[in-house]
Amino acid sequence: MTVGFVMLVHEALGRAGQVAAHWADQGSPVVIHVDRRVPRPEADALRARLADRRNCLFSPATACEWGTFSIVRATQAAVAGMLAENPGVSHVFLASGACVPLRPVADLEAFLAARPGIDFIESVTTDEVRWAVGGLDRERFTLRFPFSWRRHRRLFDGHVALQRALGVSRRIPQGIEPHLGSQWWCLTRRTLEAILEDPRRREFDRYFRRVWIPDEAYFQTLVRRHALNVQSRSLTLSKFDFQGKPHVFYDDHLELLRQSDCFVARKAWPHAAGLYAALLAPPGPSRHPAAPNPGAVDRVFARALARRTEGRAGLYMQSRYPNRGWENGRSCAEYCVLHGFDAVFPGFEAWLDHCSGAAVHGRLFAMDRAHFAGGAETHAGNLGDNPRLRDYDPQAFLTNLLWNTRGTRQCFQFGPEDNQAITRFLAEDPNAQVAVITGASLIPLFQAGLDFARTRKIAARHQQIETAFLSCLRRSGKGRALRVWTLAEFLEDWMTHLDGTLAGTGLAAGMPPADAPEIACLDGFGAFLDRLRNEGMRPQLCGDVAAIHRLTDGGAPTPRPRLSVVR
Amino acid sequence: MVSVLRTYRLRLERKRRLLRAARKSRELRPVADRTARIRRDDLLLFCTLRNERVRLPFFLAYYRALGIGHFLFVDNGSTDGSGGYLAGQPDCSVWTTGASYKRARFGMDWITWLQRRHGHGHWTLVVDVDEFFVYPFCETRPLRALTDWLDASSIRSFGAMLLDLYPDGPVAEARYRAGDNPVDSLPWFDSGNYTIRPNPVYRNLWIQGGPRARVFFPHRPAHAPALNKIPLVRWHRSYVYASSTHMLLPRGLNLVYDEWGGEKASGCLLHTKFLDTFADKAAEESARREHYAASREYRAYDRAGAGTLGFRTPWSERYEDWRQLESLGLISRGNWA
């Protein structure tokens, strides 16, 4: 059982040389292919560096261009050399110059010995491929690609579009079924010899010469024709990002890589001195027979993908500023907006604060200042209570507040007296749980006892503002979290409605609040409404005035001693 | 049609700024020109300064440790020996000028010229002496790791918002001695009171907020300084900064943010302005009126009661590291993992 390493090298030759020496010093034969486009002095330096290692050989240099058959040709030649020069080699491991060994070769050989005759190569049908660059998967095999993707992108794209338009399709040679997979594999001598000595090899090579990215398809396809026992996975740990380019490993990945129990990782940053020093130290005794388990690595890079493509919901920052409709959540958490409650219940915030686990703010959008919970001048994230700072961008004020306090449910009071610039956002944000008692703002007006002409004007303005707010909420069509009562409806059975609101918005989900809140004194409120109407302002939003008469003329609405959360 | 016109107008603006930089370059006199030592893949730092001698030792040490290969300074008439100190450093090139900072577009004309001459094809970082660049993984990965990754990802520019740091007590009591890490004296910052507006013409984001908006400009938030910056760019001789390092032309370079919900990688410039030295500067600069919008900020500072002014509140965050900034949502790793 001997593994031979074939390395395809085109940059960072110093590092490639170190890795080759590391394998060679453990007794493994190494064949290196250096891209002919590497400057001669650099290639010569690599040869000189490895000259004293008899098991390090160089295969004839081909000029390799990404995405073309030249890479396959280089691989074929290097593998053929490896098999011919080293009769004892039972497996060939294909690696690049940017690969780093994570475990001793002895571990790899023990792993392969326990799985005799198995070829390790990721090889999946084109139907299952989702990673392909440029959206090409099946078409890699059925179109022609004479132009370089890197150097002549427009020609490449134009030619693809032309072939699609003309309905051109190449014939796939009989006897093979297109498969794709990682370029990095570990195959048995038997399989490789069968591929290289296939009587139809010329025909296959001619076909693959015009396949797109044949290094991810040639061996992956032909192995299905010859191999007896394929495990469709790569023994090389290699992660790709959403652009299809490999993630790079740095010094700080060392522990993560080691714990993965993979044999080889790709690709390492050439200047990651700490990583190379640790991984190229002379290997200790074979550690344990553990099989590769890259789960932790997968999670780290899956998180990176999610961060790059979905981001953190409700976050607006210098490198995440989504267009409308692309926010994945306009705010980061659910929150409650209670409209009119503080008018019906004096001291409502203190009461709610006492009986719920939420942060209960007062009027965050009041004209005079932002009334934060506890009355502080600044709040989480150093948001200030200054109304001009807040009104400079009310939406940012709210999304910042929610972001800064994530983990604690936020709740604030709202009413027609406040800055209404935030209403559209509230209406469109599915996280906003809005409960509205319409017409409630008449209560503080009634209590203030201002000059009646002025009271009437203010009442009319509030009514207009509230109507606009309601139609804004309804127009958005969200509705899901919306509860609306007229003042009359609410007063009629306020315990049930309050209970329902608190439970439905999760404000008092855990335990029932101890005591009912104190309700505003409404003696004479019905008469106040009558007078408003008689002086020419029809109070439309407070609901059935007759009902309010009935409820208020005999004193406060029916109190109940305790409140219990309705399930 | 409108967009074609706009594109053309921006192209003209870019050309005009390049010409202007060439004209303004005559104001520069080389003091120490070591640019012949710049290697092909060196990371370059460009900086304009005036009387910042006390900050220089730590500044140079910080950026050398990140991996800057060569520093290019414009010394705008320092009288405290800054120019001489820099001219004595083996990895610094220094030009001097006594001309107006303001009329050189706050130094950007000079920097643009130097970038055009020496920055082409390099990754260039443009910062002030009180700005310290932090980016994801900066304590374990040198700046070259970031620029290599940006190259591999075909990204040409990297955003780093200005994060104002402030002391525990009054600014005038934040003592600083040469060689100290200024972040030790200024450990606090505002984590979540920033506002963002897109600029449809240049396509950059306009970010405001933080302690200066809160303390200096609470009644005129629109006057608060812009905090968005794009200091790290793989330079091409046809590029220009359009306004400080807030935005660039061509404007595609300003798209350092994702518009489809995801997060691009980004960093921060820790802004260590509010040391005791700021008090003296404020007095000098509000008289000199050589800074942006007639040194509005320095005057606001003078008004706010120079000696006793403080920024700290119970909600201030103490700076720890880039991971803290990321979890607060100020920067992002994007898909660099």
Nearest CA to CA, how far is A237 from chain B (Å)?
15
- Cα distance between residue A7 and residue A5, in whole Å: 6
- Cα distance between residue B97 and residue B109, in whole Å: 12
Note whether residue B334 is domain-resident.
no
Which tokens sit at A389?
Answer: 């700072």
For residue A563, pLDDT over 50 is answered with no
For B195-207, what is the mean pLDDT?
A: 94
For residue A131, pLDDT over 70 is answered with no
Classify residue A345 by its DSSP letter: S
For A554-563, what is the mean pLDDT?
A: 47
Q: What is the mean pLDDT of chain B?
A: 91
Could you give phi then psi for residue B119, rounded to 5 degrees? -95, -10
Domains in chain A: ranges and CATH: 3-123+179-282 (3.90.550), 335-552 (3.40.50)
Check residues A356 and B74 and name the one with the higher pLDDT. Answer: B74
Q: What is the pLDDT of residue A545?
A: 82
Number of H helices, E strands in chain A: 23, 19
pLDDT tens for each residue of B116-146? 999 999 999 999 999 999 999 999 999 999 9
Note down the domain range covering B311: 2-327
For residue A289, pLDDT over 80 is answered with no
Q: What is the pLDDT of residue A566?
A: 36
Note whether residue B335 is domain-resident.
no
Nearest CA to CA, how far is A151 from chain B (Å)?
14
Q: How confident is the model at residue B306 (pLDDT cuts 50, 70, 90)?
A: low
The angle at the Cα of B209, spanning B207 to B210, to the nearest 5 degrees, equals: 125
Classify residue A230 by its DSSP letter: E
For residue B301, pLDDT over 90 is answered with no
Residue-wise DSSP of B122-166 = SEEEE--TTEEEE-TTTTTS-HHHHHHHHHHTT--EE-EEEEE-B
Q: What is the pLDDT of residue B106?
A: 86
Q: How confident is the model at residue A293 (pLDDT cuts 50, 70, 90)?
A: confident
Check residues A221 and A357 and name the one with the higher pLDDT. Answer: A221
Chain A nearest-CA residue for B255? A319
Which tokens sit at B110?
Answer: 């000079």
Task: Determine whether the interchain pair B198/A393 forms a contact, defined as Cβ–Cβ distance below 8 Å.
Answer: no
- Cα distance between residue A233 and residue A220, in whole Å: 11
Nearest CA to CA, how far is B39 from chain A (Å)?
17
Which tokens sit at B8?
Answer: 């053309």
For A540-552, what is the mean pLDDT?
A: 82
Both ends of chain B: CA-CA distance in Å? Answer: 42
In this complex, which of A326, A396, A401 lies closest to B260 when CB atoms are compared? Answer: A326
- Cα distance between residue B164 and residue B213, in whole Å: 11
pLDDT tens for each residue of B278-293? 877 777 777 777 766 6
Q: How confident is the model at residue A142 (pLDDT cuts 50, 70, 90)?
A: confident
Q: How many structural domains compose chain B?
A: 1
Q: What is the pLDDT of residue A498?
A: 87
Task: Determine whether the interchain pair B333/A243 forms a contact, defined as Cβ–Cβ distance below 8 Å.
Answer: no
- Amino acid of residue B335: N
Q: How many CA atoms lie within 13 A of A566 on its CB side?
A: 11
Q: What is the pLDDT of residue A147?
A: 82
pLDDT tens for each residue of B62-93? 999 999 999 999 999 999 999 999 999 999 99
- Within the 31-50 window of chain B, which residues sit less than 8 Å (CB to CB) from chain A? none
Which chain A positions have a beta carbon within 8 Å of B335's beta carbon? Answer: 241-242, 304-305, 307-309
Task: Determine whether the interchain pair B192/A396 forms a contact, defined as Cβ–Cβ distance below 8 Å.
Answer: no
For residue A232, pLDDT over 70 is answered with yes
Contact in structure between B276 and B171 (CB atoms under 8 Å): yes
Note whether residue B127 is domain-resident.
yes
Which tokens sit at B150?
Answer: 């940006």
Q: How many CA atoms lie within 13 A of A500 on its CB side?
A: 14
Phi/psi-derived region of residue A322, left when phi > 0, alpha when psi is between -120 and 50, beta in every other case: beta
Using the Cβ of B140 and the Cβ atoms of chain A, whether some distance falls under 8 Å is answered with yes
Q: How many CA atoms lie within 13 A of B274 on its CB side?
A: 28
Contact in structure between A231 and A119 (CB atoms under 8 Å): yes
For strands B188-189 and B317-318, give the pairing. antiparallel
Give the SS3 label for residue A465.
helix
Cis peptide before B314 (omega within 30 of 0): no
Which tokens sit at A207?
Answer: 């076909």
- Cα distance between residue A364 and residue A386, in whole Å: 11
Which chain B positions have a beta carbon within 8 Å of A327's beta carbon? Answer: 261
- Cα distance between residue A310 and residue A280, in whole Å: 37
Q: What is the pLDDT of residue A270?
A: 95
Chain A nearest-CA residue for B188? A382
- Cα distance between residue A557 and residue A522, in whole Å: 8
Contact in structure between A208 and A217 (CB atoms under 8 Å): yes
Note whether residue B337 is domain-resident.
no
Beta carbons within 8 Å of A336's beta carbon, 6+ residues apart: A358, A409, A410, A411, A412, A433, A434, A435, A505, A507
For residue A78, pLDDT over 90 is answered with yes
For residue A132, pLDDT over 60 is answered with no
For A404-422, what is the mean pLDDT?
A: 93
Using the Cβ of B318 and the Cβ atoms of chain A, whether some distance falls under 8 Å is answered with no
For residue A567, pLDDT over 50 is answered with no
Q: Which of A472-486, A535-549, B66-80 is modeled with the greatest confidence? A: B66-80
Beta carbons within 8 Å of B9's beta carbon, 6+ residues apart: none
pLDDT tens for each residue of B207-225? 999 999 998 888 889 999 9
Task: Determine whether the interchain pair A318/B149 forms a contact, defined as Cβ–Cβ distance below 8 Å.
Answer: no
- Cα distance between residue B240 and residue B13, in whole Å: 10
Note whether residue B332 is domain-resident.
no
**Which contiguous run of DSSP H or E holds residue A81?**
helix A70-85
Which chain A positions have a beta carbon within 8 Å of B337's beta carbon? Answer: 247, 300-301, 303-304
Percent pLDDT > 70 in chain A is: 93
H helical segments located in A415-524: 423-428, 442-448, 452-475, 487-492, 494-504
- Cα distance between residue B38 and residue B114, in whole Å: 13
Which tokens sit at B220?
Answer: 């005129």
For residue A446, pLDDT over 50 is answered with yes
Give the SS3 label for residue A42.
helix
Contact in structure between A488 and A547 (CB atoms under 8 Å): yes
Q: How confident is the model at residue A561 (pLDDT cuts 50, 70, 90)?
A: very low
Note whether residue B333 is domain-resident.
no
Check residues A536 and B241 and name the one with the higher pLDDT. Answer: B241
Percent pLDDT > 90 in chain A is: 53
Q: What is the pLDDT of residue A288?
A: 67
The burial of B77, by beta-carbon neighbours within 10 Å (0-12 exposed, 13-18 middle, 19 or more buried), is given as: middle
For residue A513, pLDDT over 70 is answered with no
Using the Cβ of B323 and the Cβ atoms of chain A, whether some distance falls under 8 Å is answered with no
Could you give phi then psi for residue B162, rounded to 5 degrees? -75, 125
Q: What is the pLDDT of residue A509?
A: 55
Q: What is the pLDDT of residue B294?
A: 53
| Lowest-pLDDT range of A282-291, A506-515, B63-72, B79-88 | A506-515
Using the Cβ of B226 and the Cβ atoms of chain A, whether some distance falls under 8 Å is answered with no
Q: Which residues pair with A436 in a beta bridge?
A: A339, A484
pLDDT tens for each residue of B168-195? 988 888 889 999 999 999 999 999 999 9
Could you give phi then psi for residue A533, rounded to 5 degrees? -65, -45
